[in-house]
Amino acid sequence: DDLIEEDESPVRWFRANTLKTSKAKVLKEFSHLERVYNITDIKKGTIFYDEFIPNLFGVHPREKITTSDAYLKGRIIIQDRSSCFPAFILDPKPGVDKVIDACAAPGNKTTHLACILENSSRSVIAFEKDNQRARTLKKMCTIAGGLECISIQHADFTSTNPDDFPEITAMLVDPSCSGSGIFGRAYEENDTDNKENNPYNEERLDKLSNFQFAIVKHGMLFPNLRRLVYSTCSIYPQEDERVALRLLRDEDLKKRGWKLSNQNRVISKWPRRGEVEEFSNCSDPEACAGACIRSLPKVDGGIGFFAVLFERDPNMEAADS
């Protein structure tokens, strides 16, 4: 019963929804579980408080969480640890920042943003183009108690006019990807056994990365944007570092002052960074890779993931205008 199946996460992660509860209250609600202080000590009957993401807890995957009152009432939200990286890295400030979540459904990162923004009124605009998924997004935001802070737009983000949003200062772009970081979905290039379900298909990855580049570039054209996090649940560099590099090299974006951030501002103590060799033609490959964060499926305690923080130098804007 305690054995972890091949296609499941070694840890089930959930976040205290601070719109409704707190770390201390969650620990009290789950006080029937013994607190452990090392991720490797997680077994059935224990609870672990994460060292990287505030308000995040890990339990054994077989622990009954989805039937708990805390889950059913939205006091806790099940979300993989690395999927919590983007909103935490973006780090918007309550009462100061106005944020767009460009690809929002089902809304895990949207409600995380609302928590970080302390539910400040009308601080997040969440775009979702798919009808069914936009409904799920609304349901998730309602259960989380975030509708004061989050405004949901059932629309294609790329059809927005950036100049209509001068108030937006921060953005999260988590577009559709191959999902190769999710268990059982990662295949190697030469894996021909399961061709039909093999997401490693150069043509498909090309299409995905072109779309990912285009949607992030659109986001970078918002006139007063200062920070943007791009993320995927893919482990393939085509969708990760190579998209970041293409954005970094784009002449329009360079003129606007967009740069990769610095490891100090991207969960610096998390050990697994971007792939340095992907930035080998940059003047400081280590620094570029440091602005990226990666997690590998299972070995890093959850799904495979990639996130990178871009920042914009406001002085460049003056030079440009």
The residues that are catalytic are 233
Smallest gap from residue 157 Cβ to ligand SAM (A): 4
Nearer to ligand SAM, 46 or 158 (CB): 158
Q: Residue 291 to residues 21, 80, 279, 309: CA-CA distances in angstroms?
A: 32, 21, 11, 6
Beta strand pairing call for 124-128 and 227-232: unpaired
In the range 128-187, which residues lie near ligand SAM by CB under 6 A? Answer: 128-130, 133, 156-158, 174-176
Smallest gap from residue 35 Cβ to ligand SAM (A): 28
Smallest gap from residue 156 Cβ to ligand SAM (A): 4
Smallest gap from residue 32 Cβ to ligand SAM (A): 29
Q: Return the closest-CA partner of residue 298 out of 10, 50, 43.
A: 10
Nearer to ligand SAM, 16 or 105 (CB): 105
In the range 227-286, which residues lie near ligand SAM by CB under 6 A? Answer: none
Residues near ligand SAM (CB under 6 A), total: 20
Question: How many other C-beta atoms can be found within 10 angstroms of the C-beta atom of residue 207?
Answer: 11
CA atoms within 13 A on the CB side of 80: 22
Nearer to ligand SAM, 46 or 136 (CB): 136
In the range 99-128, which residues lie near ligand SAM by CB under 6 A? Answer: 103-109, 127-128
Q: Return the closest-CA partner of residue 280 out of 312, 307, 242.
A: 242
Q: Do the beta carbons of residue 79 and residue 13 sit within 8 Å?
A: yes
Which residue number places its CB atom closest to ligand SAM? Answer: 103
Q: Do the beta carbons of residue 183 and residue 6 sit within 8 Å?
A: yes
Nearer to ligand SAM, 180 or 263 (CB): 180
Nearer to ligand SAM, 288 or 303 (CB): 303
CA atoms within 13 A on the CB side of 51: 9
- What span, in angstroms and rounded, lies between the C-alpha atoms of 88 and 231? 12
In the range 180-219, which residues lie near ligand SAM by CB under 6 A? Answer: 215
What residues contact 33, with CB distance under 8 A and at least 6 apart?
45, 46, 47, 59, 63
Smallest gap from residue 179 Cβ to ligand SAM (A): 8
Q: Give the binding site for ligand SAM (CB under 6 A).
A: 83, 103-109, 127-130, 133, 156-158, 174-176, 215
